[in-house]
Each structure stands twice: as structure tokens, then as C-alpha cells.
């Protein structure tokens, strides 16, 4: 039947007689077969009572031909008996035609049905054949497939696929592939199975398909040669899937949970969250109280060794692992799923998993309830049975107390973020913002820190690694690092710990130590060879933590590797290694790194190595000049090049950017990329001409009006961008340095990615910057953090405490940084960089003088040369003493004091000098006179004698001696003093007055023996205690005085920890801490609780030494709980370890 529109008309139609349908919910499918169309066609349902078509369309006008099936009941919302007409349309203008073969209304329709009586199936993989529905494996590979291409219109209306299997001698599977090559869609529609009979699956729902689709159906035969499976039929047809996907899903992210809501139309909605319970398990919490009809289903798949335990309602199985060298590690991972009570699973319709250990499972969550499903993962280190048991325990613990687990991780992340260094200024400077706000930059900054910490991996003894490690980017699945820690690239991970060490020094050190432990005897670090800066990283770790012992412990491995790097300045990976290749990026990076090797060797007293590094740097600079500036390169437009190949007997070189043979040297050369060659701006020993060529190539791409300042035309990577920035700063090119760093902040935020590689979107700043390579990656994080720190005055790359001001407009600062294990803050002021906190106090510096572009370190500290002098250090109470000062800050207001007694002020002049006068208070003994300004301070020690009269005629001179009973007195102990009087005549019993720290006074009777012993009581503070003795004299004896200093050390507290001897896994067990210390000494401090070496909590210890908290223990077996009490000004640090037996 053909419809043709009349002349001058845009459309035409014909209409059917009235059709009576008893129940449209049953006979619901309208099928139209269109064989030819000149323009477009359509179909509508007509109301016989009114003669009008219903407005709701099945589809838009279309020019496609084929068989189309529509669901009348669903589209029009109908049920029950209905009267209707069908109107067929031809549209598209005068003379438009459409030819229809048939129109039917039915309760079932199959656009594709195959009983294998006709051809069309062909071998797809390996030697597998098909004949009359029997698929046979003719080959020896163990599997293969036959395939047939099928096209289905409106597949959402015929969503089901049913396969009827007569018998099998092994296993079979059914998969779908788009086109005739490429990967099968995941998951497999029917996994490897030995089931027979009719099996129906939701084809459209599994792959979220709608509209017209062409795909390949692949029937697999799995088994030995000669194995067969016989299929009766296969069909794609109408029907209502009993599982319905949500019509809308909304997800939200937080560090401690992923929440979701899913709408199911009139059936209501479900809410829930995904959360970790331990490093080896997570839970999905499902709230179905908002579902008004039906039940929520959860499903998954199983692998090898699949088993179901109805007693615990858990599913377990194993998964093989695959190394970067494609080595299969059988049963490497044990997996367990713990289901809530009442959610009994089925396995491809059966009560237990397939004996072959593959397939899918499904379980229905109890109606209108809040339940949790737990999943545990265990890397197998012993037997399969033990790993499966541990995985089951992890999964079960995950659903034991999901609310408590969520609270634990929320607290963890809040505490972590509170330790992250906090910049003051998140604004952009000296560039167009392109709509990027400070709030967006701030959010990206803290997201970077969260992502960094989420990439910290615990030790993995199953891979031979016994150290924690910072991964390159877990979600990226990077796995080509050093064997044992292959998730850590020596490039990304080392850059990351340069910043992570401010927040997590232990895991940062372990990451470095783990890498150094894998350095081979010849110096090689296996895995992907990268131009990473290991000496710089080691120096930063030392400067931030002050841990010289750990630096020394890695030293031999480090220097062995640095020597290997000079012999191998090229990229090496699993499929790339050219022994004669020399790469400029590797050369420049090593040169820069050796500056820090010099510092390390100097600190550790390795003078011969210091000389070695100096010589190596010079050699690298001369070699760089000889290697990377070929004349022929300049004639080709490349002032400097990236790669050369030293072997002149080569007949060719690996493909590159612009490869040519240099006629002068005979070496094959690759011009490479600017972003690599520009790293040489850090090589301060390059000759002026060669450095000029490096800068010239940099300028070929630098453009402040492009994304990333033009330096991502090809690509931008963090380590290269960093070296370019350091080079620009060292050259004094501030404008380009700050433009580049701020453009990088802006465009990283615009990309919304932490990536290995960034690219500009085009020649202007329009469009979203592109990313590639490993992502997420630590590269994007570390570069963003460092550039924000630079804007706020802190320069982290030097390791040593350093500040910088890139321009006058930058007035930010950073709080919460670390130096030598102590926290410090930096704040840019008009005068310079103001330092505060214990980390600044330790180095005795409060202000670094800064000018724009200048990098200032402790050598630039205001007051570093501050000195005060007095005419004499021997003074008496009441004396007026002139104090002269030099080396203070210009115009500083100076205050004089002895102890807490303020004695006067003075004003420094422009040169930082002053003169003032103080009156010595009525004290005796040894005391410190301080001169203290906002930025500078100095002191001098005075001996204050008593105001006693000199001997008079007839008086014998007297000498007093004070002897403390112990030179090693600790806080809480009693100081005993012997007072001895000596005279040329006879000592007459008299009273001697003792003064302790110029405050407490004791009168001591010295008998005729001229010796008295006195107890001064218990001392309650550490430090120097000054004891003065004064004898005022008598008619026969002259007056005398003397002072002595007793150094009091901190007391050694004892930590007692009380916990239950046994605990159940997942319980929030109570920990009681009691710090025993001398009476009268406050114990107020903090204590860190570690379980199995991992920090789980920090608690406040009260003045009385007590603290109580709860922690969660998830590992089965013996758990070591260690409490580290932090030192106070009067108490030393202490620790205590107890053991708890953790059971299921």
C-alpha cells in the first residue's frame, strides 16, 4: 500500500477502520513495516469518536525503512478496552510517498527471530563452526565464537532477548559487539554457563539502548576441541522486563560518602550512599522506605571459586591478577559480598553459583527498609581459603555499623583538612580570569589535597613492598611504576610527597624509602624511567621534618641512583629503550637535582661526594652545550633540540617530532617539544649564547593571550612547568613567571581535571582546556598547589624555608606549613614575609626582607645579626646599665626585660642600631637581659651580685659556695643544696638567705661547722633554675654572695592504656589513657593513637593526665594499639603499646 501526497500539499494520510481491542494492556504493540519512503512518514492513533488524532507521537517524522514496533499502552497511558483507528502519513511536500507492507496490533512481536534454519552466521573468533544450530569448537584454543549482524528499530519497545538452548557438552556464552570488530559490550549478556532451556535477558536495559541499533550477536563455545552447544532459537522481542532501571539518578560527592537518589516514577524513589568501612571494604546503604511498589534489586557477578554461604548470607569468589608484563597471578584477589538478612541471592536463576565459577547474582532488598550491602577485597598472601575468609569478614564488618563507619571517615577527613596548609589568597594576578573565581580555585585546591591523600596506599606485602606509598592516581589505574609499587610513578609520586609531607610526614617518608629500597645494585630503579627529582625530594622531606636519620638511611641508595641517572638520561618503559638516546629534559632535571645532592652530602659530611656533584654539574652543562644546539637545528627553526642519538652508525632513528641527521656530528636528532627543552632554563652554568637559544625556543610559544600562556600548544606537564617557572624566576623574568603560573591555575581549574597532560583548546582562550595521559594524576594537583603557594609568598621547591613575592600586589600568606618538624605560618606584609609559630621560633626568624621577584631565605632574616652589649656583665641590683644594640630591623621598637620584668624601651634607627638604659632590679644571680623587637631579638647574660658592702677594718672576708646535690635533676625531683662558708678567721654561726629565681626566699642557719644542708623542695618546671645565696655580714665577718644554676630536665611520664583484651571486629572499642607524672605538673597535651602502625585518632589529654575515646579496629587477629603521648614543656614524650585480640 503506497500513500502519495497531493500536488501542493505538504502531507497526506489514510486511516484504518475502527479497531476494537479488549485489553490494550495485553494487545499493546503496534507494528508497522515500511518498505519504501521518498521523503518522510509517520503513524498516529486516531480517536473514532472525535475523528481527531491523539497529540502524543510515537516518533518524529522519519525517512527510515524497516519494521517498527510501538507500545500503545505505555505511550498513551491506556489500559482496558479501547476503540481506535490507525492513521498512516506521508510527509515532506508535494508528491511525497511512503509504502507500507503491513500494520498489526498484537500482544507479542519479535523483529528478530532465528531458528537457525537459514544462513547468516559466520565464524567470528578461532575455529568455531555452526550447522543447524549446533556450535562446535574445531580448534585447540579452548573457545571461539560465531556471529551474526542484526538491526533493530525502536529497541526500547522490543527490549528482551531469549535464547533456547537444547544441550551443551561444555559451556557457552552470548555477547554483543557493535560492528564486526572491537571489544564486546560489558557486561557479557550471558556469562560462561552450562545452562539449557529458555533464558531471557534484558538486552536494551543492560546496555541502556534506545532507537535504531545494529550490532553483532556472538555465540561462544567454551570447552575443549570437539565440544558443542545446540541452540533451538534466538529472538529479540517485546515484553516487560521485570527489572526496571531508575528514570533519574542524582549523585553527590563528599570525601566520606557518595550519596544518591534514584526515581522510579510512580513507584517512588530510593536513596542511599556508598562509603568505605576499612581500606579493604565498602558498603552501599540502601533506603527503600520511599518505594511505594515493588522491591529494590541489587546484582553483581561472580568469578572463580564462587560460593554462597546461607548461614552468613555472603557470596565469595576470586579474581586473577595481571602484571604489567601480562603475567597471570591466579586467584590474586578474594572478593566477598555480604547481603542483609532476608536478601537471598539467586545465581542466573539458580540457588547456588555455577560449578564453573562464573555468572551473575541478584537479590531483592526487603521492602521499605534501610539495609546495607558490604563488599570486601583481600589481596591473597597465603591460601585461597584464608583470603576468602578474610574477605568475608571484611564484607560482614562493613554492614555491621554503617552509620558509625560513615561518622569515622567524616571525622577523619575533617581532621585531615584542618592540617592542610591554608593559603590566604586564591585570586588570580596579572591575567584575565576568564570567569574563574577565587572560590572555584579554593575548591580545586582542597579537592587536590583530598585526592592526594586518597592515593596513599598501605604496604602491599603481596607484591614484596613493605612501605606505604603515594600512588600516581588510583582511579587512572596507572600500573607501570617500579615492580612492587607499580601504582607509584617515580615522577608523580615524588612530586606529591614534597607537599604531602607538610600534612602526612610518615607516609611521605615511607613512599620515598620504599622507592629507594628498590634501587638495584647498579643504581637502576626498575619500571618506567622518568626524569624525577629524587635528591630534591629527599632534601624537602628532611627540611620539613628535620629527620636527619631517615635522610642518612636512604643516602647510599640515592647517590647510587643519581650516578645511574647520568648514564641513562632517557625515557625507558616496557616497550621503549634506546641505549644511545640522550634527552634534554632528563639532563636538565638531573642538573637541577644535583644542587640538592650537594646540600645532602654537605649535611652528612660526605665532602668527596660534594665535590663529585659539583664536577658532575659542570660536566652536564658542557655536554648539554655540545649535544642540544646543532647548527642544522637552527636552520630548521629549532634553536635547541630535545633528543640526540649518540650512535653515529645508526641508519635511522625512532620516529619523533622532526627527526634529522645532523651533518656536523653525524648524529640523528629529534627537535622534540619546547616544553621539554625549556626546562634547561634552570641550568645556571650554561653559556650565555646557549641559554639565549633555550629562551628563544621558549619565546616561540609563550603567549600571555593563550591558555596556559601559550605553553600548552602541544602539551604541558607539571615537572616541566615547574622547572620553567624556577628558571624564569632565577633569570629575573617575573612577568612571564607570574603570568605562566597564574594562567596555569586558571586553566587547570577550567579543565576541571587533575591530569598528567594539559592542552590548550585552541589559539585563543575560548573553549575548555583539554587533558590527556594519566588522569587523575598527581601532576595536576602538585602544580596547582605549588602555584597557589607561590602567589601567597611561599617557595617550596628549595626545601629550605624560603619566601618570594612575585609582584607588589601579592599580599597573601599560608598557615600550617612545617619546618624542621614544627608548624609555622608565612604572611606577606609591606615589610616582607612575616614568619610565626614554633617552626619560625626554632630558627629565630620573624621577618624575611623581600623585594618583588626576590627569593628570601634565612640568610635574609631581619635581625639575624642582632647583638646587644653592656659595659660590664658584672652588675649589682640598682645599677643603671647602658644597653647598645646593632643589627636590628630598621625603626624597630625595642623592649628590655629580665625574665618577666620589663625594664624599658628604645627605638632603633634606620640602620637598626639603638642605645638605651635599664635599672637592674633587686635580684641576684645569673640572669638574661633581653632586647626584643617585633622581628629581632638579642640577649646578654648578666651576673647580678648582692649589694653587700666591701670588708671593713676588723672584718674577715667570707666566701660562700653553693653545691647542688645532683647535676641531672628532673621535673618533680627535689633540689638539695649545700651552703658552705669559708673565711680567714673563725666562722661564727649566722643566717644566709637563699633566693630561687629571684622570687622565693629561704633563710638558712649556717652553724659553726660553716656547712648547712637545705632542701629547696620539688621543682615543677624544666629549664635553668638560678639559686643565689647572700650573707649580709656582721661585726666580725664581711658580707658575701654567690649564685649557681641548676639545669632541670623534663620528667619522664609513664603512659598507661586500658582497653578490653578482646574485641569484636568493627566495634568502637573504648581506650582509656592515663599519663602518670610528678605531682603538681600538668599533663595537658595530645596523644596519637595508632593501630597496626596507622594513625587513627588524635585525642586531647587533660591536665590530670586522663583521656578517653573510642576507636574502631577492623583487622582480625592481634591488633597492636600504640599511644604516643606528645611532649610538653615539662614532660618528655612517651608511648605505650597494648595488644587486643580482634574476633569476628
Residue 676 has pLDDT above 70, yes or no: yes
Highest mean pLDDT among 361-375, 849-863, 961-975: 361-375
Q: What are the contacts of 795-798 at 24+ separation with CB within 8 A?
A: 795/855, 796/498, 796/499, 796/540, 797/498, 797/536, 797/540, 797/722, 797/726, 798/855, 798/857
Residue 947 has pLDDT above 70, yes or no: no
Structural domains for the chain: 2-106 (2.60.120), 112-237 (2.60.120.260), 248-413 (no CATH), 455-548+555-568 (no CATH), 813-860 (no CATH), 867-944 (2.60.40.10), 958-1049 (2.60.40.10), 1054-1143 (2.60.40.10)
Q: What is the pLDDT of residue 528?
A: 62
- Indicate the pLDDT class of residue 672, thresholds 50, 70 and 90: very high
Query: Which tens digit of pLDDT belongs to each residue from 413-470?
Result: 999 999 999 999 999 999 999 999 999 999 999 999 999 999 999 888 888 888 999 9
Strand 937-944 vs strand 874-875: parallel, antiparallel, or unpaired?
parallel
**Residue 691: all three cell numbers together:** 641559554
Q: Tell me the backbone φ, ψ of residue 779, rounded to 5 degrees.
A: -50, -55
Mean of all residue pLDDT scores within the chain: 91
Residue 1123 has pLDDT above 70, yes or no: yes
- Indicate the pLDDT class of residue 355, thresholds 50, 70 and 90: low
**Residue 455: all three cell numbers together:** 592515593
Phi-psi region of 863 (alpha: psi -120 to 50; beta: other; left: phi over 0): left
C-alpha to C-alpha distance for 835 and 848, rounded to whole angstroms: 8
Q: What is the pLDDT of residue 952?
A: 79
For 651, residues 6+ apart whose C-beta sits below 8 A from its C-beta are none
- Residue-wise DSSP of 543-607: HHH--HHHHHHTHHHHHHHHHHHHH--S-BBTTB--TTEEEHHHHHHHHHHHHHHHHHHHHTT-H
Residue 718 has pLDDT above 90, yes or no: yes
Residue 950 has pLDDT above 80, yes or no: no
Q: Tell me the backbone φ, ψ of residue 1025, rounded to 5 degrees.
A: -110, 120
Q: What is the pLDDT of residue 1115?
A: 76
- Indicate the pLDDT class of residue 186, thresholds 50, 70 and 90: confident
Residue 51 has pLDDT above 90, yes or no: yes
Q: What is the pLDDT of residue 955?
A: 86
Q: Tell me the backbone φ, ψ of residue 20, rounded to 5 degrees.
A: -100, 125
- Indicate the pLDDT class of residue 900, thresholds 50, 70 and 90: confident
Highest mean pLDDT among 8-12, 575-579, 704-708, 887-891: 704-708
Helix (H) / strand (E) containing 883: strand 880-886
- For the chain, the distance separating the N- and C-terminal CA atoms, rounded to the nearest angstrom, is 74
- Indicate the pLDDT class of residue 477, thresholds 50, 70 and 90: confident
Q: What angle do CA 703, 706, 709 make, to 5 degrees?
A: 55
Q: What is the pLDDT of residue 135?
A: 96
Query: Which tens digit of pLDDT belongs to each residue from 491-509?
Result: 888 999 999 999 999 999 9
**Averaged over 677-703, what is the pLDDT?**
96
C-alpha to C-alpha distance for 102 and 35, rounded to whole angstroms: 9
Query: Which tens digit of pLDDT belongs to each residue from 1067-1094?
Result: 788 999 999 999 889 999 999 998 887 8
Residue 340 is classified by DSSP as: P
Q: What is the pLDDT of residue 823?
A: 94
**Averaged over 132-153, what is the pLDDT?**
92
C-alpha to C-alpha distance for 303 and 37, rounded to whole angstroms: 50
Closest Cα to residue 1049, out of 975, 996, 971, 972? 971
Length of the chain measured in residues: 1144
Residue 322 has pLDDT above 80, yes or no: no
Closest Cα to residue 447, out of 478, 489, 417? 417
Closest Cα to residue 947, out of 1045, 1032, 1037? 1032
Query: Which tens digit of pLDDT belongs to each residue from 214-258?
Result: 999 999 999 999 999 999 999 999 988 778 888 889 999 999 999
Residue 948 has pLDDT above 70, yes or no: no
C-alpha to C-alpha distance for 219 and 199, rounded to whole angstroms: 14
Query: Which tens digit of pLDDT belongs to each residue from 266-291?
Result: 899 999 999 999 989 999 999 999 99
Residue 669 has pLDDT above 90, yes or no: yes
276 and 405 Cβ atoms separated by less than 8 Å: yes
Helix (H) / strand (E) containing 205: helix 203-207
For 686, residues 6+ apart whose C-beta sits below 8 A from its C-beta are 621, 624, 625, 680, 694
Phi-psi region of 994 (alpha: psi -120 to 50; beta: other; left: phi over 0): beta
C-alpha to C-alpha distance for 873 and 896, rounded to whole angstroms: 15
Amino acid at each position: 500500500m503506497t500513500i502519495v501526497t497531493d500536488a501542493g500539499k505538504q502531507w497526506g494520510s489514510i486511516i484504518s477502520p475502527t479497531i476494537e481491542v479488549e485489553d490494550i494492556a495485553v494487545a499493546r504493540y503496534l507494528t508497522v513495516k515500511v518498505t519504501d519512503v521518498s521523503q518522510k512518514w509517520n503513524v498516529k492513533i486516531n480517536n473514532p469518536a472525535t475523528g481527531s488524532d491523539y497529540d502524543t507521537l510515537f516518533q518524529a517524522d522519519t525517512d527510515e525503512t524497516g519494521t517498527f514496533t510501538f507500545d500503545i499502552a505505555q505511550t498513551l497511558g491506556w489500559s482496558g478496552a479501547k476503540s481506535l483507528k490507525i492513521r498512516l502519513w506521508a510527509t515532506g511536500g508535494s508528491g511525497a510517498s511512503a509504502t507500507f507492507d503491513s500494520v498489526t496490533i498484537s500482544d507479542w512481536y519479535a523483529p528478530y527471530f532465528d531458528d537457525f534454519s537459514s544462513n547468516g552466521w559466520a565464524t567470528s573468533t578461532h575455529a568455531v563452526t555452526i550447522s543447524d544450530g549446533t556450535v562446535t569448537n574445531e580448534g585447540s584454543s579452548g573457545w571461539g565464537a560465531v556471529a551474526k549482524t542484526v538491526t533493530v528499530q525502536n529497541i526500547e519497545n522490543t527490549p528482551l532477548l531469549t535464547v533456547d538452548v537444547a544441550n551443551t557438552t561444555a559451556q557457552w556464552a552470548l555477547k554483543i559487539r557493535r560492528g564486526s570488530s572491537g571489544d564486546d559490550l560489558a557486561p557479557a549478556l550471558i556469562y560462561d554457563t552450562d545452562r539449557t532451556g529458555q533464558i531471557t535477558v534484558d538486552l536494551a536495559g543492560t546496555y541502556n539502548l534506545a532507537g535504531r541499533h545494529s550490532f553483532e550477536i556472538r555465540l561462544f563455545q567454551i570447552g575443549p576441541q570437539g565440544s558443542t552447544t545446540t541452540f533451538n532459537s534466538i529472538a529479540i522481542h517485546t515484553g516487560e522486563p521485570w527489572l526496571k532501571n531508575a528514570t533519574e539518578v542524582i549523585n553527590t560527592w563528599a570525601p566520606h560518602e557518595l550519596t544518591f537518589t534514584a526515581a522510579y516514577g510512580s513507584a517512588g524513589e530510593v536513596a542511599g550512599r556508598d562509603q568505605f568501612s576499612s581500606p579493604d571494604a565498602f558498603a552501599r546503604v540502601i533506603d527503600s522506605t520511599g518505594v511505594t511498589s515493588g522491591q529494590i534489586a541489587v546484582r553483581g557477578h561472580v568469578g572463580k571459586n564462587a560460593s554462597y554461604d546461607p548461614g552468613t548470607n555472603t557470596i565469595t569468589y576470586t579474581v586473577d591478577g595481571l602484571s604489567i608484563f601480562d603475567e597471570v597471578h591466579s586467584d590474586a584477589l578474594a572478593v566477598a559480598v555480604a547481603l542483609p538478612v532476608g536478601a537471598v541471592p539467586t545465581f542466573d536463576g539458580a540457588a547456588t553459583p555455577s560449578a564453573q565459577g562464573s555468572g551473575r547474582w541478584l537479590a531483592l532488598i526487603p521492602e521499605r527498609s534501610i539495609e546495607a550491602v558490604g563488599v570486601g577485597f583481600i589481596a591473597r598472601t597465603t591460601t585461597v581459603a584464608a583470603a576468602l575468609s578474610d574477605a568475608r569478614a571484611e564484607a560482614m564488618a562493613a554492614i555491621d555499623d554503617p552509620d558509625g563507619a560513615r561518622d569515622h571517615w567524616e571525622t577523619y577527613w575533617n581532621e585531615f583538612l584542618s592540617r592542610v596548609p591554608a593559603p590566604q589568597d586564591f585570586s588570580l594576578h596579572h591575567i584575565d580570569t576568564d570567569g574563574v573565581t577565587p572560590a572555584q580555585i579554593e575548591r580545586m585546591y582542597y579537592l587536590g589535597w583530598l585526592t592526594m591523600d586518597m592515593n596513599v596506599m598501605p604496604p602491599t606485602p603481596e607484591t614484596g613492598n613493605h612501605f606505604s606509598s603515594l600512588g600516581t592516581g588510583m582511579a587512572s589505574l596507572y600500573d607501570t611504576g617500579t615492580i612492587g609499587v607499580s601504582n607509584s610513578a617515580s615522577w608523580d609520586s615524588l612530586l606529591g610527597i614534597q607537599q604531602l609531607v607538610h600534612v602526612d610526614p610518615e607516609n611521605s617518608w615511607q613512599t620515598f624509602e620504599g622507592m629507594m629500597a628498590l634501587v638495584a645494585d647498579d643504581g637502576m630503579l626498575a619500571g618506567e624511567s622518568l626524569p624525577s627529582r629524587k635528591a630534591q625530594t629527599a632534601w624537602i622531606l628532611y627540611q620539613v621534618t628535620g629527620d636527619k636519620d631517615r635522610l642518612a638511611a636512604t643516602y647510599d641508595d640515592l647517590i647510587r641512583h643519581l650516578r645511574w641517572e647520568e648514564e641513562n638520561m632517557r625515557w625507558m618503559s616496557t616497550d621503549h629503550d634506546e641505549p644511545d638516546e640522550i634527552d634534554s629534559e632528563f639532563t636538565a632535571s638531573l642538573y637541577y637535582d644535583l644542587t640538592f645532592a650537594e646540600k645532602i652530602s654537605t649535611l652528612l659530611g660526605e665532602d668527596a661526594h660534594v665535590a663529585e656533584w659539583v664536577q658532575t654539574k659542570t660536566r652536564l652543562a658542557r655536554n648539554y652545550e655540545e649535544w642540544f644546539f646543532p647548527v642544522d637545528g637552527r636552520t630548521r627553526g629549532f634553536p635547541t633540540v630535545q633528543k640526540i642519538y649518540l650512535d653515529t652508525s645508526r641508519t635511522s632513528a625512532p620516529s619523533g617530532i622532526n627527526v634529522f641527521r645532523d651533518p656536523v656530528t653525524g648524529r640523528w636528532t629529534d627537535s622534540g617539544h619546547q616544553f621539554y627543552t625549556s626546562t634547561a632554563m634552570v641550568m645556571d652554568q650554561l653559556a650565555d649564547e646557549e641559554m639565549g637559544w633555550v629562551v628563544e625556543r621558549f619565546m616561540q610559544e609563550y603567549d600571555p593571550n593563550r591558555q596556559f600562556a601559550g605553553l600548552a600548544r602541544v602539551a604541558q606537564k607539571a615537572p616541566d612547568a615547574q622547572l620553567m617557572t624556577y628558571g624564569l624566576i632565577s633569570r629575573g623574568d617575573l612577568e612571564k613567571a607570574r603570568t605562566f603560573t597564574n594562567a596555569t591555575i586558571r586553566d587547570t581549574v577550567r579543565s576541571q581535571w587533575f591530569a598528567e597532560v594539559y592542552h590548550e583548546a585552541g589559539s585563543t582562550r575560548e573553549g575548555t582546556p583539554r587533558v590527556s595521559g594519566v588522569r587523575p594524576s598527581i601532576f595536576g594537583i602538585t602544580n596547582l598547589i605549588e602555584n597557589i603557594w607561590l602567589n601567597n609568598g611561599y617557595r617550596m621547591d628549595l626545601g629550605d624555608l624560603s619566601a618570594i613575592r612575585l609582584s607588589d600586589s601579592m599580599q597573601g600568606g599560608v598557615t600550617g606549613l612545617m619546618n624542621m618538624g614544627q608548624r609555622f605560618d608565612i604572611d606577606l606584609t609591606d615589610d616582607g614575609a612575616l614568619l610565626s609559630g614554633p617552626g619560625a621560633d626554632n630558627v629565630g626568624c620573624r621577618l624575611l626582607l623581600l623585594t618583588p621577584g626576590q627569593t628570601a631565605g634565612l640568610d635574609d632574616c631581619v635581625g639575624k645579626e642582632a647583638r646587644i652589649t653592656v659595659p660590664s656583665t658584672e652588675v649589682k641590683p640598682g645599677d643603671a646599665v647602658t644597653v647598645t644594640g646593632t643589627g636590628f630591623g630598621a625603626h624597630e621598637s625595642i623592649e628590655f626585660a629580665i625574665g618577666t620584668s620589663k625594664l624599658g624601651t628604645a627605638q632603633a634607627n634606620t640602620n637598626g642600631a639603638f642605645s638605651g638604659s635599664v635599672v637592674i632590679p633587686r635580684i641576684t644571680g645569673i640572669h638574661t637581659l633581653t632586647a626584643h623587637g617585633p622581628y629581632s631579638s638579642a640577649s646578654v647574660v648578666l651576673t647580678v651580685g648582692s649589694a653587700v658592702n666591701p670588708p671593713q677594718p676588723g672584718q674577715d672576708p667570707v666566701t660562700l659556695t653553693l653545691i647542688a646535690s645532683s647535676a641531672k635533676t628532673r621535673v618533680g625531683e627535689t633540689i638539695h643544696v649545700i651552703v658552705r662558708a669559708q673565711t680567714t678567721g673563725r666562722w661564727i654561726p649566722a643566717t644566709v638567705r637563699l633566693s630561687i629565681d629571684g622570687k622565693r626566699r629561704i633563710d638558712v642557719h649556717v652553724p659553726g661547722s660553716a656547712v648547712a644542708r637545705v632542701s629547696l623542695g620539688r621543682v615543677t618546671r624544666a629549664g635553668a633554675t638560678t639559686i643565689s645565696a647572700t650573707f649580709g655580714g656582721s661585726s666580725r665577718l664581711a658580707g658575701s654572695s654567690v649564685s649557681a644554676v641548676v639545669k632541670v630536665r623534663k620528667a619522664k611520664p609513664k603512659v598507661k592504656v586500658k582497653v578490653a583484651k578482646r574485641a569484636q571486629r568493627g566495634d568502637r572499642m573504648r581506650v582509656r589513657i592515663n599519663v602518670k607524672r610528678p605531682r603538681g605538673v600538668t599533663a595537658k597535651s595530645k596523644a596519637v593513637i595508632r593501630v597496626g602502625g596507622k594513625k587513627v585518632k588524635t585525642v586531647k589529654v587533660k591536665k590530670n593526665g586522663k583521656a578517653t575515646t573510642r576507636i574502631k579496629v577492623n583487622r582480625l587477629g592481634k591488633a597492636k594499639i600504640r599511644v604516643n603521648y606528645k611532649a610538653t614543656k615539662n614532660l618528655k614524650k612517651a608511648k605505650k603499646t597494648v595488644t587486643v585480640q580482634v574476633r569476628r
